[in-house]
């Protein structure tokens, strides 16, 4: 797959900035797209297109446990999130809702770059350099391959590994 980069190489982008708490209390998750990242970049919702890739800094998604944060990125059109590192709850939540994430600690990916991404191998190519993401644990690969934790459990009924 390929995707265009929105670079926010800022550390500790927390869940309040990904989707402020005041917008999270609804089951109509499509509404999150109107407010995703609005306190970080009020233009984000106008710039983002289906299939784009978000690239963040260290400790991306720290703060609250709200699953609305990865959902907000997904409904905005983001197909993959790359960060130097992730907070642990965001990491789990993203996989659980079927949003692929890749941890690449050291990179010089530029804003607007077009990335070629192979999710299976974790290889990312920005036209100049090929990067390798830290591998996911097998259970997360299994969950992601099923499309998220809901379809995974619908099929397997319990965790298997």
Sign, Cα dihedral of 142, 37, 78, 136? negative
Which one of residues 4, 9, 41, 58 is an interface residue with other proteins (CB under 8 A)? 58
Output the DSSP codes for 108-143. -PPTTPEEEEETTTTEEE-SS-EEEPPPPPHHHHHH
Q: Which helix (H) or strand (E) holds 116?
A: strand 114-118
136 binds other proteins (CB under 8 A): no
The CB-of-65 to other proteins minimum distance in angstroms stands at: 4
Which one of residues 7, 45, 125, 148 is an interface residue with other proteins (CB under 8 A)? 148
**Minimal CA–CA distance to 15: which of 7, 6, 24?**
24
Considering only residues 105 to 124 of the shown chain, the ones binding other proteins according to CB under 8 A are none
Cα 142 from chain centroid?
Answer: 17
| Distance separating alpha carbons of residues 32 and 42, to the nearest angstrom | 13
87 binds other proteins (CB under 8 A): yes
Which one of residues 76, 93, 109, 115 is an interface residue with other proteins (CB under 8 A)? 93
Residue closer to other proteins (CB basis): 55 or 69: 69
The CB-of-60 to other proteins minimum distance in angstroms stands at: 10
Query: How many CA atoms, within 13 angstroms, populate the side-chain half-sphere of residue 21?
Result: 4
Instruction: Give the binding site for other proteins (CB under 8 A).
Output: 11-12, 14, 16-17, 20-22, 24-27, 39, 58-59, 62-68, 85, 87-89, 92-93, 96-97, 137, 139, 148-150, 153-154, 157-159, 161
């Amino acid at each position: 797959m390929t995707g265009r980069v929105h670079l926010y190489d800022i550390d500790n982008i927390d869940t309040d900035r990904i989707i402020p708490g005041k917008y999270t209390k609804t089951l109509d998750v499509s509404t999150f797209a109107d407010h995703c990242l609005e306190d970080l970049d009020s233009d984000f919702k106008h710039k983002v297109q289906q299939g784009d890739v978000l690239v963040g800094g260290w400790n991306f998604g720290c703060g609250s446990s709200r699953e609305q944060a990865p959902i907000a990125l997904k409904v905005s059109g983001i197909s993959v999130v790359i960060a130097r590192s992730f907070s642990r709850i965001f990491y789990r939540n993203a996989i659980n809702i079927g949003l692929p994430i890749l941890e690449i600690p050291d990179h010089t990916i530029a804003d607007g770059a077009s990335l070629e991404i192979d999710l299976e191998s974790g290889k990312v190519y920005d036209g100049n350099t090929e990067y390798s993401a830290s591998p996911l644990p097998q259970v997360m690969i299994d969950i992601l391959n099923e499309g998220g934790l809901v379809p995974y459990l619908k099929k397997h009924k319990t965790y298997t590994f």
